[in-house]
Amino acid sequence: MPPSVDLLQGTLDLLILKTLALEPMHGWGVALRIQQISKEVLQIGQGSLYPALHRLEYRGWIKSEWASSDNNRRAKFYSLTAKGRKQLAAELDQWDRMAAAIALVLGQDKAATA
Amino acid sequence: MSRDPHHRADATAGRWLRMLRLRASWFRRRPSLQQELDEELAFHLEQSVRLYEAAGMSAAEARHQALLDFGGLEQTREETWRQRPSWLIETILQDVRYAARGFLRNPAFTATVLLTLALGIGATTAVFSVVDRILFRSLPYAHDDRLVSLGLVQSLEKQEFTLGGFFYEWRDNQRPFASLTFETGTSDCNLTDVNPVHLQCADVAQNFLPTLGITPLLGRNFLPEEDLPHGPAVAMISDGLWLSRFNRDPGILNKSISLDEHSVRIVGVLPRDFEMPRMQPVDIVVPAAMDIAAQHTVNSGIGYPMWAFARLKPGVSLAEARLQMQPLYLHTQQWIPAEIRNDFHLQIRSIRDRQMQDAYRAAWFLLGGVLAVLLIACANVASLFSARSAVRERELAVRSALGASRGRLMRQTMTEAWMLALAGAFAGGLLAELLLQVFIAIGPAGLPFLAKARLDLRVIAFTVLISLLCALFFGILASVEKPRALALAARAKRSRTHARLRRTLVALQIAISAVLLSSAGLLLKSFANLENQKLGMEPRDVVTVHVPLNSEHYPKGFMDFYLRAEAALRQLPGVSVVGMSSSLPPDGWKSGTRYAEILAVGKSPAPQGSGGTVTTRTVSPNYFRALHIPIVQGPGFTEEQRRSDSHILVLSQLLASRLFPGEDPIGRHVQFGSFNPYFTAGPTLFTVVGVAADVKNSGLGVDSEPEYYTLGRDRDPDAWTRHHYFLLETALPAAVIAPWIRAQIAQLDATAPVEVRSLSQDVNQLGDRPRFATALLGFFAFCGLLMAVIGLYGVIAYVASQRTQEIGVRMALGATRLNILRLIAGEGVRMVTLGGLLGLGAALALSQVMQSLLFQVSPRDPQIYIGVAALLALVALAATLLPGWTAMQVDPVEALRNE
């Protein structure tokens, strides 16, 4: 088994938004992309991707349309909406702040125990 | 098991792809969305398979690996599907359809539940609609909780009043109120335009409506200058009058109407729900236009009577208001004649308290009773639900095994509960409307707001609320014990949990029934006492005639008319005695004197303010004969004395024994006096000529007052008021003799209205209120008992049927039929004993609350409690013996063969 990392709640949404920000993509593509970019560290359950995609679509952050894929097979492509772009920015910002805060706490911890 | 895993995976994937196609046809109602999802997922899998194939896997391996990567396919489908915003509603609809099918499949269950709920909810709604206005609903005034009624009370008038002589002093010097206002009562008035009508007019202060927080529907309130003596004549009319007389014409403002032949300008229309604080009916409101200066001279210098209402300043409590008004009241006291000063008190209470008087307790009592019935109904439905889910255990276990989560099954049960509750609320609403009609039909006249009770939106909201609460109660009880998937195997064990819950519920129902039954029993006994008490007179065969004469037609007094009417009535066929009196026992208006103001000559006067009040009536000698009141001592009044000059009295036994204890009162003298500041006897010396037996004179459930009678004499024309009564002893019914009486009176005064009534009917009506409470609570107790017994029977019968095989085994092993009966009935006996003891204990604990509602019955009357215990035992025995008997008839061979 490859090493898997449990995703924080809401992190999957962020990853999907970030992935779709590059270009419209179908679900399979999103799964592949996240796996590849994270160098197989983030082993997301492919199944859990779809509820997330649909949830984001009902929230209006992404939209979907059916189009031909590279091998001429009909596939559902998702793309970011303007609202989604704003949401992505906000979530990235929040992520940065949280990551910084966590790093700070952990760094202090290390200093204390060292 | 050890077959090629790839082959299995292949089969799974193939089945899944087939299922996707199948699904697409299943959900025709929403094909596009469902299909889209399936197609999307299929695409994902295809791509995954393709990738693995490209990496060199066999088709089967690739498929297996793709499915592994993906995780639970069906789970993903469900989870994704659930993201849709309409998912919840769709699931609920699905649950509803499923539940409805279940209900239709089991009509006996559905009907029983609906009937039980309808009864519980219907009765509760009907009672709530009656007591709502008494207990909860706000009065039709803005911030009605800040409004108070204030004034003086004394032993002869317990409803607070004020007088013009001090009202203005209070108004100008008070501190606790934002404003103080008054009304001077309503009086007859006539609209004398074309088609004259008789109306009720109220005189109010200029700030009356603003103080109560009432805004006119149309137009404006009175102006200060309109509230001055000889100010412009203006009026506001009620919405009712606006509709009936002017067809809600918006142009009514500033039109003039003729009121008692004076032209009056309409300046406003009162709101639809307008109500005088003392609840007198009113059609027209006019400014009182008080001459403030004159209040110290008119009416012997005390001013006109008025009724004061005030709005508390923000933050001032009722208790603070009482405290702050005390100095003003003390000042007012200086002004009350010293001899009666002690008899007066300041009273300040909320308008609601003034309106409801003693109706609170009865209202709470009825509400409590009906809520108990509702609780029994809900417990009954819970136990029916529980029995049903025991029967459906397998069905639910199968659903559970097929993947329905526990939450889903709970939701299913709750959906069923809500559905039944709402259907029950609907049926209950219809029943409530019916019950309300019955209440109004049999209800007593004196119960406030009964006739006005309606099922409006507020009451319907209450109905829906209680039915939802009820559903929550039985739904949760039924769903906490839902089977797990294991239930298929562990059937027997689960059934036992169900049974325990139902036994508890039945015991609860029995307990509440016991409380209801004992309360109803106490009321019934009290009512019987009330009906059977000695009136001290015989109202049967007595017809009373009241002729409220128009004073303007009798400038010389009414005596002449009464004497001629008496002679005329004597001529009527079938009338044996004609008596006269200024008032009628046993209830209703009567005049009174303070005991301390009666002096038995030769004795020292009673201390001022002691002894309470004494009833007094002016009668003719035949009064005693008509009512069959025995004169126990002395000759009493004679016809000749009516024309004599002598001042004579007849005392009641009670008064005689108090004025002349242990002595013969006949021939003794009595004087009436006043404290000024010491007792000063009046000039007239009255001689006691008789002692009459005591008569109920203060209503049925109350101790009688002492009483004395004076003789209506020809020499004393002022003693004859326009409200004298004739009492006719006749074997004829009032309806038969009434036209003859009217004809006789019409010959004397064609304009005088004549009221003819049967005294026994009037006396009977006094029992209406306790009769109403007793009938209602009796009905509740009956419903409660019925439901509890049905619940008991259901549980025992169910237990017996569940244990058929066990019984068969026992009998095969040698148990006698009696053993079996004991086994089954023992179950019921335990429930009834536990519930009954609990209920009787609770009833005893609660009984003190009933004290004030009971007449000559102890709230712990042992007879009642023993009777309730016996009744419960009897009914419970029947409900357990029946299924026990069936169990006894079990044929062991049959029972064991079924296994």
How many CA within 13 A on the CB side of residue B748? 22
With a CB cutoff of 8 Å and minimum separation 6, the contacts of A69 are: A26, A75, B43
- A46 in Cβ contact with A72 (< 8 Å): no
pLDDT band at B155 (very low <50, low <70, confident <90, very high): confident
The pLDDT assigned to B489 comes to 47
- B796/B887 Cα distance (integer angstroms): 10
Cα–Cα distance between B525 and B511 in angstroms, integer?
21
Please, which residues bridge with residue B203 across strands? B286
A70 close to B (CB below 8 A):
no
The dihedral region occupied by B574, where left means phi > 0, alpha psi between -120 and 50, and beta the remainder, is left
Where is pLDDT greater, at A114 or B224?
Answer: B224
Mean pLDDT of B475-493: 56
A4 part of a folded domain = no
Q: How far B25 CA lies from chain A's nearest CA (Å)?
A: 20
Pairing status of strand B725-730 against strand B542-546? antiparallel
Beta-bridge partners for B234: B265
- List the single residue in A with minimal CA-CA distance to B85: A58
Q: Could you tell me if B74 lies within 8 Å of chain A, comparing CB atoms? A: no
Contact B442, B775 (CB under 8 A): yes
Helices (H), B55-159: 59-70, 73-81, 87-105, 107-135
Amino acid code (one letter) for B508: L
Chain B, 842-871: which have a CB under 8 Å from a chain A CB?
none
Task: Report the CATH number that the domain containing residue A67 is assigned in CATH.
Answer: 1.10.10.10
Cα angle: B505, vertex B377, B426; to 5 degrees = 145
Amino acid at B767: G
Q: What is the mean pLDDT of chain B?
A: 83
| More confident site: B616 or B82 | B616
Contact assignment for A46 to B80 by CB distance below 8 Å: no
CB A48 within 8 A of CB A12: yes
* Mean pLDDT confidence for A25-29: 89
pLDDT score of A112: 45
DSSP string, B354-375: HHHTTHHHHHHHHHHHHHHHHH
- As a whole number of angstroms, the distance between CA B824 and CA B885 comes to 9
Contact B789/B873 with Cβ under 8 angstroms? no
Question: Per the structure, how many domains does chain A have?
Answer: 1
pLDDT at B431: 92
On the question of pLDDT at B28 being above 50, the answer is no
* Mean pLDDT computed over B655-663: 91
Distance of CA B732 to the CA centre of its chain: 38
Q: Within a domain: residue A93?
A: yes
What value does the mean pLDDT of chain A take? 81
Residue B745, Cβ density class (10 Å: 0-12 exposed, 13-18 middle, ≥19 buried): buried
Of B336, B337, B338, B358, residue with least CA distance to B346: B336
Q: Does A46 touch chain B (CB under 8 A)?
A: yes
B306 has pLDDT over 90:
yes
Q: Predicted confidence band at A111 (pLDDT cuts at 50, 70, 90)? A: very low
pLDDT of residue B496: 58
Least confident of A4-13, B342-351, B833-842, B881-890: A4-13
Residue B586, preceding bond cis, omega within 30 degrees?
yes
What are the tokens at B132?
A: 């709502």
Helix or strand holding residue B601 (H, E): none
Alpha helices of B533-659 — where are they, by DSSP H?
559-570, 622-627, 653-659
Q: Measure the CA–CA gap between B224 and B662, rounded to whole angstroms.
A: 64
For testing contact with chain B, the best of A4, A25, A48, A59 (most B CBs within 10 A): A48
Query: How confident is the model over B189-216, as a mean pLDDT?
Result: 87
- CB atoms B43 and A47 under 8 Å: no
Give the three-class secondary structure for A99: helix
Mean pLDDT value of segment B257-261: 85
Helices and strands, number each (H, E), in chain A: 4, 3
d(CA B844, CA B861) in angstroms, rounded, equals 10
- A-B Cβ pairs (cutoff 8 Å, strict): 61
Q: Percentages helix, strand, coil for chain A, rounded to the nearest 5?
A: 60, 15, 25
| Span B789-795, average pLDDT | 79
Model confidence at B361: pLDDT above 60:
yes
Do the Cβ atoms of A51 and B40 come within 8 Å? no
* Dist CA B389 CA B380 (whole Å): 14
Cβ within 8 Å, pair B76-A73: no
| pLDDT for residue B476 is more than 70 | yes
Calculate the CA B189 to chain-centre distance. Answer: 34
C-alpha closest to that of B547 among B571, B566, B572:
B566
Token pair in block for residue B49: 């398979």
Segment B404-419, tens digit of pLDDT: 677 777 888 888 888 9
Phi and psi at residue B725, in whole multiples of 5°?
-115, 145
Measure CA of the first residue to CA of the last residue in chain A; give whole Å: 34
The count of other CB atoms within 10 Å of the CB of residue B187 is 12
Helices (runs of H) and strands (runs of E) counted in chain B: 27, 24
* β pairing state of B679-681 and B197-204: unpaired
- Specify whether the CB–CB gap between A39 and A27 falls below 8 A: no
Q: pLDDT at residue B276 above 60? A: yes
Phi-psi region of B303 (alpha: psi -120 to 50; beta: other; left: phi over 0): left
Q: In this predicted structure, what is the pLDDT of residue B577? A: 93
Task: Provide the pLDDT confidence category of residue A114 given band limits of 50, 70 and 90.
Answer: very low
A46–B70: do the CB atoms touch at under 8 Å?
A: yes
Tell if the CB–CB gap between B44 and A54 is shorter than 8 Å: no
Question: How far A83 CA lies from chain B's nearest CA (Å)?
Answer: 19
Segment B427-438, tens digit of pLDDT:
999 999 998 888
Does the pLDDT value for residue B533 go beyond 80? no
Structure confidence at residue B8 (pLDDT)? 52
Inter-chain residue contact A26 with B83, CB threshold 8 Å: no
Residues in chain A with CB shorter than 8 Å from the CB of B49 are none
Task: Give, in order, the Cα–Cα distances in Å from B433 to each of B130, B134, B365.
Answer: 11, 19, 21
% of residues, chain B, pLDDT over 70: 91
CB B637 within 8 A of CB B711: yes
Q: In this predicted structure, what is the pLDDT of residue B675?
A: 65
Supply the pLDDT for residue B686: 92
Does residue B492 surpass a pLDDT of 60?
no
Length of chain A: 114
Question: Distance between alpha carbon B110 and the CA centroid of its chain, in Å?
Answer: 31
- How far is residue B857's CA from residue B530's CA, in Å, rounded to a whole number? 10
CA B186 to chain centre: 28
Q: Count of residues for chain B? A: 899
Give the CA dihedral B552, B593, B300, B183, nearest 10 degrees.
-70
Neighbours of B75 (CB within 10 A): 14
Where is average pLDDT lowest: B296-305, B479-488, B518-527? B479-488
* Cβ atoms of residues B233 and B182 within 8 Å: no
Do B540 and B591 contact (CB within 8 A), yes or no? no
- Out of B4-18, B133-147, B825-839, least confident range: B4-18
Q: In this structure, is residue A1 part of a structural domain?
A: no
- Is it true that the peptide bond before B216 is cis, omega within 30 degrees of 0? no
Does any domain span residue A6? no
* Most confident range, picked from B314-328, B342-356, B689-703: B314-328
Is residue B814 exposed (0-12), middle (13-18) or buried (19+ Cβ within 10 Å)? exposed
**Confidence label for B319 from pLDDT (cuts 50, 70 and 90):** very high
Contact of B719 with B712, CB cutoff 8 Å: yes
The continuous run of DSSP H or E covering B260 comes out as: none
At residue B306, what is the residue type?
Answer: M
Q: How confident is the model at residue B439 (pLDDT cuts 50, 70, 90)?
A: confident
- Both tokens of residue B672? 């009436």
The residues pairing with B119 across neighbouring beta strands, listed in sequence order, are none
* B55 secondary structure, DSSP code: T
Please give the radius of gyration of chain A, using alpha carbons only, rounded to the nearest integer: 17
Residue B657 pLDDT: 92
- A96-105, B722-731, B789-798 — which is least confidently predicted? B789-798
Q: Which two structure tokens, joined as six digits, stand for B525?
A: 């006994």
Task: Write out chain B residues lying below 8 Å of A27, CB-based.
Answer: 40, 43-44
End-to-end CA gap in chain B: 35
Q: Flag whether pLDDT at B493 surpasses 60.
A: no
Give A-chain residues touching B85 at CB under 8 angstroms. Answer: 58
Is any Cβ of chain A less than 8 angstroms from the Cβ of B39? yes
pLDDT for A7 beyond 70: no
CB atoms under 10 Å from CB of B693, counted, come to 17
- Counting Cβ atoms within 10 Å, is residue B456 exposed (0-12), middle (13-18) or buried (19+)? exposed
Question: Confidence class of residue B637 from pLDDT cuts 50, 70 and 90?
Answer: very high
Residue A72's domain comprises 11-113
Is there a contact between A76 and B48 if contact means CB atoms under 8 Å apart? no
* Dist CA B540 CA B763 (whole Å): 10
Interface check for A48 against chain B (CB to CB < 8 A): the answer is yes
* Cα B588 to Cα B699: distance, rounded to the nearest angstrom: 8
